[in-house]
Amino acid sequence: MTLQTLPFPFTVCKVQDAIGIDLSHPYTFAAITEDECSLVCQTCFTPGETIAREDGWRAFRVAGSMDFGLVGVLSGITGTLAAQGVPVFAVSTFDTDYVLVKADRFAQAMAALVAQGYSLEA
């Protein structure tokens, strides 16, 4: 399986409401529940006002579109990283999965995945 690294930093944050979220930027993921409004986005597009914010994430995605019938893709990736003690933050789209890892652990995460047989693509 091929994983594509994304070249820019990400921020995971919580915002007051969805009004200030600009969904026109690529790699913007929003989740709204009765308790919170969370946002994952490129750091340069993080809203000015946040309730909580964690910078310093890097991301990679599973290359190509995945069939909904596939089983264990995300668990294979996160299991490999968990075995190395690397925390993750995952988001999924209709087509694929994205996994975020803190920037200071990104090289370790990529090395662990390559050792497990994953291919990397920039």
- Is 71 a residue whose pLDDT tops 70? no
- Given this model, what pLDDT does residue 54 score? 98
- Given this model, what pLDDT does residue 72 score? 58
pLDDT digits (tens, 9 = 90+) for 42-62: 999 999 999 999 999 999 999
12 burial level (CB within 10 Å; 0-12, 13-18, 19+): buried
Angle among Cα 7, 71, 25 to the nearest 5 degrees reads 30
The model's confidence at residue 13, banded by pLDDT at 50, 70 and 90, is very high
Average pLDDT score over residue span 57-83:
82
State the Cα–Cα distance between residues 29 and 119, nearest whole angstrom.
25
State the Cα–Cα distance between residues 57 and 16, nearest whole angstrom.
21
The model's confidence at residue 12, banded by pLDDT at 50, 70 and 90, is very high
Does the domain spanning 2-121 belong to CATH 3.30.2130.10? yes
- Given this model, what pLDDT does residue 67 score? 60
Q: Where are the beta strands (DSSP E) in the chain?
A: 2-5, 10-15, 29-32, 37-42, 52-62, 89-92, 97-102, 119-121
- Given this model, what pLDDT does residue 98 score? 95
- Given this model, what pLDDT does residue 18 score? 86
